[in-house]
Amino acid sequence: MTLPRRTLGSTGVSVTCLGLGGEGVLRTFGYEAEAQAVIDAAFAGGIRYFESARAYSGSEAYLGRGLAGRRPEVFLTSKSHGRSRREAENHLAVTLRHLDTDYLDLWQVHDVRTAADLAALTAPGGALEAFRWAKERGYARFLGVTGHHDPGILRRALDLYEFDTVLLPVNPAEPADRSFLPLAQEARARGLGVIGMKVLARGLVEQLGVARIGDFVRYALSQPVDVVVIGADDVSQVEELLAAVRDFTPMPPEEQRRLEEAVRPFARGLMYYKP
C-alpha cells in the first residue's frame, strides 16, 4: 500500500508524510514480538520513514531486526544526545550496529534545550565535529537538529550549522504558549526539511474527548511540515494512524482555530515537554 509523499526540504528526497516514531512499544526492552508486529504493520501500510534515537531504549535494535531485508526501501533516521565528539561518535557506532546498516539517511542532534547545549556542541571537541565527519564519510546522508523545550534555543541551533532538517513539536496546544509553529514556517522558508513530533502529546489527546485522533494528525499535516513521526503501542494504533493519513485533506484555518481553542484549557498539560 502507498501513502502520500512529500519532499523533505531541500534534500530532494521524497518521504512518506507519516513516519513510525521510536516511542510507544519501540521505546521498551523485551517486547520483541510486539515491536515486530508494529514495524510489520507500518511497513505493510506504506510507511517508509522510520525514526529512532540512541536514547530510546531498545528502539534501534527492534528496527534493525524488524526491517531486515528492507533497508533499501526505507528512509532510516536516528539521533544522538551526545554533546562531545567522542560521545556522539560512540553513539553512532552503536546506532549503526543496532540498526544493522552502514549508514543513516538522517542523523540528528537530539533534544537541544539550553544555551549550555549550544556551547558544548560547538566547542572544540564538541559533537558537531562528529556530525560533520559522519556526513563527510558517508555514515549519514543528511544531518538534522531536534528540540521541544524552547523554540528560541532551537532557532539559535539552526544557525550553528547548515542542517538539512529540523524536528519540532506540532500540535494544536502549541499556540497557547511559546509556540514552535512559527519556527516551522521559518525553517521551511530556509529550505530545511521540517519534521513534526508530539502530534498526539504522548497519547494524552486521546483522554480529552474533544476530537478524534485523525483530527490531530490532520492538524499537524496542515502545518508547514514534510513528515510527522508518531509512535504506536500496537497494531491497531498503527492502522488508525494510517487511515488518518490516507484520508488526509488540508484542515481549513478556521477549523484549526476551533481545535486550538478546544484544547486550550488543557494546553499546559499537553505540552509536558516544555519547562
Lowest mean pLDDT of 40-49, 107-116, 207-216, 217-226, name the range: 207-216
Predicted confidence (pLDDT) per residue in 129-168, tens digit = 999 999 999 999 999 999 999 999 999 999 999 999 999 9
Residue 161, judged by CB atoms within 10 A of its CB (0-12, 13-18, 19+), counts as middle
Which pTM was predicted? Answer: 0.98
pLDDT in the model for residue 247 = 85
pLDDT of residue 70: 98
Which parts of 11-139 are beta strand (E)?
14-16, 18-24, 49-51, 75-80, 104-109
- Tell me the three state secondary structure of residue 166: strand
What nine digits make up the cell of 182? 512559527
Q: What is the mean pLDDT of the chain?
A: 97
As a whole number of angstroms, the distance between CA 60 and CA 62 comes to 5
Say how many residues make up the chain.
Answer: 275
Least confident of 101-105, 181-185, 201-205: 201-205
Lowest mean pLDDT among 176-190, 194-208, 215-229: 194-208
Widest Cα–Cα separation across the chain? 50
Residue 198's pLDDT is 98
The confidence score (pLDDT) of residue 14 equals 98
Nearest to 188 by CA among 160, 158, 215: 158
How far apart CA 226 and CA 17 sit, in angstroms, is 6
Burial track 230-249 (b if 16+ CB lie within 10 A, e otherwise): bbbbebebbeebbebbeebe
DSSP label at 12?
-
Please report the domains of the chain, with CATH numbers, ordered by start residue.
Answer: 5-270 (3.20.20.100)
> Distance between CA atoms of 116 and 149, rounded to whole angstroms?
13
pLDDT at 1 over 80: no
